[in-house]
Amino acid sequence: MSITPSSAGVSGKSVVITGAAGGIGHALAVRFSSAGANITVNDVDHAGARNVANEVGGTAVIADCASEDGVAALIAGATEAYGRVDVYIANAGVPGIGDVSASEEAWRLALEVNLMAHVRAARLLVPVWLKQGGGRFIITASAAGLLSMPGAAPYAASKHAAVAFAEWLSMTYRDRGIVVQAICPQAVRTRMLGGWVL
């Protein structure tokens, strides 16, 4: 299924995008804004988030979208600005390089950002969406969530978990007005890739 704004019918809808200061998130903010959506931008790059919000005529909410308090603040900020959240795009991610010797911190960070950020957002949004008659939850996962990725055990495992969580959400709530999608792109030239060779 396509997630282009034209097919999603997002004109006038409130769309939250994490990891939106650059790369895929920035492109999504521009595209959804051009289709008439009201955009809430979030990123750990605070200046970048504000710049993108200004570019698309949206709102920047500065919060850690991977923490419980941060995701609550993000959703509250978007709701305060636009009255509700109709579409939540969980796009923020971290690389997670390493093999079996990867540190506890590398695993913790990958799982917090690449999986638990989605769980925490869904925990807050799903009950609201069930009451308001629907919503759309989009997760930017990765091809590494389908095929694995040499040299990046924390990344591959966390992205597999993200795909599984999206599948579970979809199975559980698809008949109750909640649409869930996982995007699994291959390598995209963004800042997150850093020095990786494409």
CATH of the domain at 68: 3.40.50.720
Within a domain: 194? no
Instruction: Give the type of residue at 118.
Output: H
Q: What pTM value is reported for the model?
A: 0.88
Within a domain: 1? no
Within a domain: 195? no
Distance of alpha carbon 26 from alpha carbon 21, whole angstroms? 6
Helix, strand or coil for residue 69?
helix
Distance of alpha carbon 62 from alpha carbon 164, whole angstroms? 28
Within a domain: 159? yes
Q: 41 has which bridge partners?
A: 17, 60
Q: Supply the range of the domain harboring residue 169.
A: 8-189
- Counting as low any pLDDT under 50, the low residues of the chain are 1-2, 7, 192-198
Cα torsion through 94, 95, 96, 99, rounded to 10 = 170
Domains of the chain: total? 1
Q: 138 has which bridge partners?
A: 89, 181
Within a domain: 50? yes
Helix, strand or coil for residue 72?
helix
- Residue 155 annotated among the catalytic residues of the structure: yes
Q: How far is C-alpha 41 from the chain's CA centre?
A: 11
Within a domain: 177? yes
Within a domain: 3? no
Within a domain: 59? yes
Q: Which of 82, 88, 155, 173 is catalytic?
A: 155
